[in-house]
Amino acid sequence: MEFKIGMVLEGEITGIQPYGAFVSLGDEQQGLIHVSEVKHGFIKNINEELEIGDKVTVQIIDIDEYTKKISLSLRVFQEAVPVVYKKKKYFTNRYKTIGFTSIDEKLDGWVNEFLDDLLEKD
């Protein structure tokens, strides 16, 4: 069988490692589902998501040109989890315009004060 990127195949999980799961695609051909392609979001332990012997429907997302290794994905069949953005928190009042202008206004006074202290020590 000739494999192409985008093909949807049935397979069986034959091995699980911390970095992903190996899937038998028949005809002595295997592919790898990387842990990031198992599902949307963070996966702490891949063994909680997949087991050896599970029948899975996967899609080919990459085929290495030289080694002929096949990269698979389960995640493409899942609906993406909507991203929730948190409201930005300000440590100061965002309506006040303090910034560097207040330093600029005080700087001359601080320099003169320092120079006066130096002259008094002499």
Alpha carbons 9 and 22: distance in angstroms, whole number: 14
Which ranges of the chain does DSSP label H, i.e. alpha helix?
101-121
Residue ranges per structural domain of the chain:
8-77
Question: How does pLDDT run across 34-84, given as a tens digit for each residue?
Answer: 999 998 888 899 999 999 999 999 999 999 989 989 999 999 988 887 778
User: Residue 47: helix, strand or coil by DSSP?
Assistant: helix
CB within 8 Å of 115: residues ≥ 6 apart? none
Alpha carbons 28 and 32: distance in angstroms, whole number: 14
**pTM to 2 decimal places:** 0.64
φ and ψ of 121, to 5 deg: -75, -25
CATH class, domain 8-77, is: mainly beta
Alpha carbons 32 and 29: distance in angstroms, whole number: 11
